[in-house]
Structure 1
Amino acid sequence: MKSRVAYFGVFTALALIFSYVESLIPFQMGIPGVKLGLANLIIVVALYKMDLRETYLLSVTRVVLSGFLFGNYFSIIYSLAGGLLSLTVMACLKKRGGFSVMGISVAGGVFHNVGQLVVAMLVVETYSVMYYLPVLLIAGLVTGFLIGLVSNEMIKRLVNIQM
């Protein structure tokens, strides 16, 4: 039990550190709202190393804490919607089998953006933001692929960690 709490604390700290580092990176592709999603690297690794309930708790904890520390109320709402939808899709794909870590991460990146877009439609009360979907899908594919590459390597190196 103690090691599970310690691992949860370490994963939370790493996710917050990655969120902070990402807030410092002047990464702008001219597309508002597109980020690398470095903290999602920890969520993908946790999906393979932790219990699913604990992974959901980690995701919510990371979003709320990083929102209070580095964002605002709206960033928490958008990130929660995207994070929970992407984690749900990734968990379903992992359970179904036949998908690599990279494939699961790409699906997570795409559905993270879809979840945020649904919240944006609810906030602005119009469907016109759907025109932004192709751009967000491409961004989700690229960032999901990059996060998947790094996640796969981390999972390979963390063979001794199982909670």
Structure 2
Amino acid sequence: MRERKNSQNSNGRSSAGKIAQYGLLIALAFIFSYVEALIPLPVPVPGIKLGLANLVNVAGLYTVGAAGTLVVGLLRIVMVGFTFSNPGSMLYALAGGILSLAVMALAKKMDWFEKTGVSILGGVFHNIGQLSMAAWITGTAGVFSYLPVLLVAGVITGGVIGLLGGLVTDRIAPAVRGMRR
């Protein structure tokens, strides 16, 4: 009798399950980005957004890890950039997204905060990354005059996304464990 091979990687997750999981995360992040593009925020400061796609970053960080979440985030930024935006906006999103995820991954790894605190750090550092890119592109540090307002916005939106991301993570964790079998 032939033994059926189950293609699994080193952490026990089947290849098909891993592909399905990443596909789901990318699709959710893309949809959340689209929905967010449809919601105008009545704020006088440019650049403030809800950060709905960051729900996927929080959930991904706690389910597939930092490397997987980085792949999902980069694919989302490129797809959204070409679909709803432009290459210039992609630069800002990449700067904010990479810095944000790096800080969130470090905070999670060091166990400094719970999910909400990690998300707040992500919101704050996303804004710092985008302002840093703007300063580099424009050659002026004047863009940092927006920093106080964007820090407040990052704390508020990061907190909301962190609370929701914690709920989502707790709900999908059993399904993720099931995909690992």
Deviation, 1:51, is: 3.1
Is 1:27 the equivalent of 2:41? yes
Identity percentage of aligned residues: 47
Counterparts of residues 121-132 of structure 1 (less than 5 Å): 121-132=135-146
The residue that corresponds to 2:85 in the other structure is 71
CA distance in 1, matches of 2:113, 2:131: 25
CA distance in 2, matches of 1:73, 1:119: 13
Does structure 1 retain, via aligned residues, the 8 Å contact 2:66–2:101?
Answer: no
The residue that corresponds to 1:110 in the other structure is 124
Structure 1 residue identity aligned to 2:138: V
TM-score between the two structures when normalised by the length of structure 2: 0.87
The residue that corresponds to 1:51 in the other structure is 65
Structure 2 gaps of 5+ residues are: 1-14
The residue that corresponds to 2:105 in the other structure is 91
2:153 to 135, 139, 148: 139
Structure 2 residue identity aligned to 1:127: A
Deviation, 1:28, is: 2.7
Q: Secondary structure at the match of 1:55?
A: helix
Does structure 1 retain, via aligned residues, the 8 Å contact 2:59–2:169?
Answer: yes
Deviation, 1:126, is: 0.6
TM-score between the two structures when normalised by the length of structure 1: 0.97
CA distance in 2, matches of 1:128, 1:53: 34
Q: Secondary structure at the match of 1:158?
A: helix
Deviations 1:105-143 (A, max 9, x none): 000000000000000001111111111110110110011
CA RMSD of aligned residues (A): 1.0
Deviation, 1:52, is: 2.1
CA distance in 2, matches of 1:52, 1:90: 9
Deviations 1:58-97 (A, max 9, x none): 1100101011111111110000000000000000000001
CA distance in 1, matches of 2:66, 2:159: 22
Higher Cα Rg, which structure = 2
CA distance in 2, matches of 1:35, 1:52: 23
The residue that corresponds to 2:25 in the other structure is 11
Is 1:42 the equivalent of 2:67? no
